[in-house]
Amino acid sequence: MAATTTVCLEPRVKEMLNGLKTHREESYNSVIERIATMAYDSEPLTDSEIKGIEESLKDIKAGRYYSEDEAKKMIGID
């Protein structure tokens, strides 16, 4: 048997949850579980991937990038 927990929601949040129900009788537990499952990342970025993204953002801010057309020309795609 599941444990029961009381959660305080603002009325607008409750209405949002109501709008996410797949049917009228779906429990809030099911709605919240569906949302949490969708939000959970089972393969989070590694430190190396985060570092690569940060370096790429620095390159973009410094203007070190090619447009799509430039990149296509460089690799011979028209």
Amino acid sitting at position 22: T
**What pLDDT does residue 2 have?**
81
What are the extents of the domains in the chain?
Answer: 10-40, 44-78
**What pLDDT does residue 66 have?**
95
**Whole-angstrom distance, CA of residue 22 vs CA of residue 63:** 47
User: In tens digits, what is the pLDDT along the chain, a chain of 78 residues?
Assistant: 689 999 999 999 999 999 999 999 999 999 999 999 999 999 999 999 999 999 999 999 999 999 999 999 999 997
- Tokens 């296509």 belong to which residue? 72
**Whole-angstrom distance, CA of residue 44 vs CA of residue 27:** 29
